[in-house]
Structure 1
């Protein structure tokens, strides 16, 4: 009871000063992961262009727990470690509402590669994986902005992946946020539900240059 009162008092004091706590867990293979860096970005900064500077960062503790102190607002929460990446599937997070119990399961961060292509053939391609295995019937989407949490119609969509998980998405030179979804229901649209798979390319945003095609794999989480 005393601990609960202390936490409530701390939260009230910080909120009164204009700061709020965002808390959660970074994990790997179902266990807390120590040493990841958690980033909070203002959602409004994900409206296109180059990757913004984080509003705040924090390390994950030995238990995998993390705590960010932020001004009131709406934020995108991600985490990174050597060769690993995590993205909160319900981004953006609003302080004071769904800012507790944020789960950040780490997935592999594939090494991105660029290759020269004729003008007009630019885009992104690779494989869609879950727990290291290829996933078929996944649609990969490119969005021009991310501040709405990838809701609504994407700018471009790939054909569903085949048995080897391969995808290819032709894109004009520019900046894009690339996501992948597979719904257990088999539907192509609608909100994500339990059992659905979701993934994001770690490049936020992905820059497509003239005459260049990017190879990068997308790792899904449930």
Structure 2
């Protein structure tokens, strides 16, 4: 798996000349996952879109689990290069870039969880985030945990605001909001605090994302100031 993720696995020296590349196979898998969800990805589907047979694909990748790992790292891509700014601005921008990536490829929320080997792009995202805290006075463990907390918040909001391809309920965001509003109009006495809170709710879909990020960064700022 490590060799696959890092592009160090040599192709067999014998046999016909390779008709495709591992990257081309992963790109087809990404297109399928973006359109139909991760469950729709299979060796059979990918082979149908490439000039190779299903069995020939196994010369490049042992199975779907390994393929999804390569797809995930390729879909994440390298983190955007940003100009040098103070650590708080840097981490805020980093988090918003990560959120945009999850919205672009929602299936990454499923494929990038649990204990697994990490590829070069995912490690580059971690490096980019942690580098913002270099020289902050936080220990290495605290820097790592800071990135973990921010990533968890971003993932949670992205998961709540994303409709996964192939797993839609058939409801739009407007449908859900309208249904909730209708319920609370007749059940306001039962849910008085919820009703009052929603009446003053205003802002974009990212309001929870932005609010949470600032509260996390407030806590880090206080900790860094105390260390200073």
State the TM-score, normalized to the length of structure 2.
0.24
Which is strand-richer, 1 or 2? 1
Q: Rg: which structure is higher?
A: 2
Which is helix-richer, 1 or 2? 2
